Chain A
Amino acid sequence: NAGVTQTPKFQVLKTGQSMTLQCAQDMNHNSMYWYRQDPGMGLRLIYYSASEGTTDKGEVPNGYNVSRLNKREFSLRLESAAPSQTSVYFCASSEPKPYSGANVLTFGAGSRLTVL
């Protein structure tokens, strides 16, 4: 059982280049999330998708776009990468109870992005 799979695991970009981080889950979860993790900042939510066909901004959405391709896949795109986007990116999925914070997330292994 793979859970949440992210690709690539590592990527180096030059400022201004674009790239897409891919995420897929095989648990039939409705909700998916993209977080970034920076030293001393914990996890910050970039975008999330409550269900197939919907996406919403999180705490730090600037410079990013997302696509919920289908129920399994949720991609994160950097259109013009900046050094401030150097970070570790985590995708997660969950099956939350409606209107409830009883929401256990399953995380991928992360994608380490460096922007020069």
Chain B
Amino acid sequence: AQSVTQPDIHITVSEGASLELRCNYSYGATPYLFWYVQSPGQGLQLLLKYFSGDTLVQGIKGFEAEFKRSQSSFNLRKPSVHWSDAAEYFCAVGAASGGSYIPTFGRGTSLIVHP
């Protein structure tokens, strides 16, 4: 079965600074990988996904993530954070074959943006 670890419960950055949120997964083959964002009081929204091909994927709101097979990681990045990026971010992994098609979610990282 697949699993996801988001090592950071909270991340605090200043507005305009760069951001990297960490995500490590455990899965025996090439996984499907996702980042979702949850704004306060809202449901989750897909930011970006990796299924195959280029390991650097672009998402909405200026976010990108890089799949690194050797490190079992799929870290989320943004070059310049805006105050509106304050939210909860969830990494998720889906099995490429066999097992459950339902993605497994990490526990989330809360992003705090200081003005």
A interface, CB within 8 angstroms of B: 4, 33, 40-43, 45, 48, 58, 90, 92, 96-97, 99-110
Contacts and interface: CB of A to CB of B under 8 A. Distances in A.
Contact of A101 (B43, B94, B105): B94
Nearest to B52: A102
Given A42-B90, A45-B102, A102 B51 contact: yes
B103 A103 contact: yes
B107 interface: yes
Residue among B32, B100, B102 facing the most chain A CB atoms (10 A cut-off): B102
Contacts, number: 70
Interface in B1-46: 2, 9, 31-32, 34, 36, 41-46
B102 A48 contact: yes
7 contacts: A96-B101, A101-B102, A101-B103, A102-B32, A105-B36, A105-B46, A105-B103
A115 to B, nearest CB: 20
Contacts of A43: 44, 90, 105, 108
Contacts of B94: 100-103
B9 to A, nearest CB: 7
Main secondary structure of the interface of B (DSSP, over half): loop
A107 B43 contact: yes
* Interface size range of chain B in the complex: 20 to 34
Contact of A99 (B42, B101, B103): B101
Contacts of A33: 102
Interface of B: 2, 9, 31-32, 34, 36, 41-46, 49, 51, 90, 93-103, 105-108
The 3 A-B residue pairs with the shortest CB-CB distance in the complex, in nearest-first order: A101-B94, A107-B43, A42-B107
Contacts of B44: 43, 90, 92, 105, 107
Contact of B101 (A92, A101, A108, A109): A101
B98 A99 contact: yes
